[in-house]
Amino acid sequence: MAKYLVPASVLLSQSIAAASLFDSYVSLSFELIGFPTFAGTKHQPNAFSHNLMHNLAELQGSGIVVRVGGNSGDRAIYDPTLTTSTASACPNADPGAWQCIGTTFFESYGGFPAGTRYSHQFNLGAYNSSGWATLEATVPLACKALRGQLEFWEMGNEPDLFTGSRRPSTYNASQYSNEWLNSTQHFESYLHKACPDLFHSLKYIAPSLSSPGARLHIADIFPDEGNATEKITQVSIHNYMNGATVPGVTLQNTLMSHNAVVKSITSHVNYAKTSTIDAEYIIGEHNSLYGGGASGLSDVFGAALWAMEFSLYAASTGVIKRIHFHQSVGSPYAAWVPSGTLATNAPYYGKLAASTFLAHSNTIEVKTLALNKDADLDSGYGAYVYGDLRRIAVLNLRQYNAGNGTRASQTYTVKVAPGSLWKSQRLTAAGATDKTGVTFNGFSYDADSNGLAKRVKGQESSKVIRADRSGNISFTVQDSEAIVLLKE
């Protein structure tokens, strides 16, 4: 069959030529201290989490890449006498520590489905005797647990935020660089002794700064390339749209806004150009609002639409090779509640939709589509395989709250191959501020089915739409709703 290219007039020009993305584009990051709660252990996995992770991996066609770290990674002190995986005190190791890990912590690697790849972050925040003892003691535990399922290593988290708390106010890029180099050299010596097979395939992500606007800059941290940085295979910078308690943050203007997403991601695209490291660029930790998110913003359906929008636009840059949504137990922005009263939160569904559109992400090219609508509220994307348009995604980001009058909709038309058939899958809920009742393609993935797909009566699923003879495919999307079209 002849390939059909969308006319140039339909496509927005791309500022940077797209290149191959990494697989498992929609990946996750877990706060280190809460990771065992999410994962369980290799021999006794958390079944609810296992199923939810499996869903994402199945849709994407590859195992999720799980980064384990965050603020608690730079606080965690190892205590071999602990009988639990984590603890809020470990006086036998460090009387001042308030986040601690024991030997059984490392049994959680392998708790997620087979094919999951992991990274482990070591503690750089505690640059002292207990921190160094933790590094020496945990390298053998980590490397043996991660053998066969390792993606990369990480040393420290958001060092730019050490200033004035973990470090003096004069702390600078050169000092951080020296600490990172010293710590990785010690790590490598411990790794060579404990797991020599892994020593010869070392991969780091760094410098794990809090944002492109961080006071420490990558060009100052690593001013030139060389042996010190050749093992950094992914430049990792973090991202949050704003803060959970910052005045003026709203669902419509902060999250459900194409322009806001573009602004946030463009800062990364520009930052990547300044990197002195010959490595690909990822967003190694991100979510809606820093500080764990905000109830009523980060845990509602509007945040699911944001998660989808953020993922697709990031992929369209061709620069950001993978993104990791951060998860923390009890945080509003968490995709699910892994213990106690189990629950699948609204943002999870946005990841399902994004995973569907970005399936086999290392084989596709993503481009934005000009919809000739409102540039901020109507967002469109195409996924191409060797120039052939295979998937379409459209988001109607106008905020509609359930019960607030009649729910409006928009009709969209996209140029495709004449007469082609497309299967539609909708990401929908009663309204943008709803926390429950969310579905993707007519299915829920809630606790009542232990995270497995459950057909919801009355919800549309895999409806087939045919393009007309002129190659126009038209469809409607309600306010606060999104659709993914898959070429049959």
List, for residues 270-322, the tens digit of each pLDDT value: 999 999 899 999 999 999 999 999 999 999 999 999 999 999 999 999 999 99
0.85 exceeded by pTM? yes
- The position carrying tokens 């999870």 is 348
For 234-257, how does the pLDDT look when each residue is reduced to its tens digit (9 = 90+)?
Answer: 999 999 999 999 999 999 999 999
Compute the average pLDDT of residues 353-372. Answer: 97
d(CA 351, CA 160): 29
Q: Please determine, for residue 2, whether its predicted confidence score (pLDDT) is greater than 90.
A: no
% of the chain surpassing 90 pLDDT: 94
Q: Please determine, for residue 11, whether its predicted confidence score (pLDDT) is greater than 70.
A: no
Compute the average pLDDT of residues 438-461. Answer: 98
Q: Please determine, for residue 227, whether its predicted confidence score (pLDDT) is greater than 90.
A: no
How many other β-carbons are positioned within 10 Å of the β-carbon of residue 454?
14
- The radius of gyration of the chain's CA atoms, rounded to the nearest angstrom, is 23
How many other β-carbons are positioned within 10 Å of the β-carbon of residue 168?
11
List the beta strands (DSSP E) in 73-177: 77-78, 86-87, 100-101, 117-122, 150-155
For 397-415, how does the pLDDT look when each residue is reduced to its tens digit (9 = 90+)?
Answer: 999 999 999 999 999 999 9
The 3-state DSSP class for residue 44 equals coil
Tell me, what's the pLDDT at 365? 98
Compute the average pLDDT of residues 127-146. Answer: 98
Tell me, what's the pLDDT at 17? 38
Residue 191 per-residue DSSP state:
H
For 50-60, how does the pLDDT look when each residue is reduced to its tens digit (9 = 90+)?
Answer: 999 999 999 99
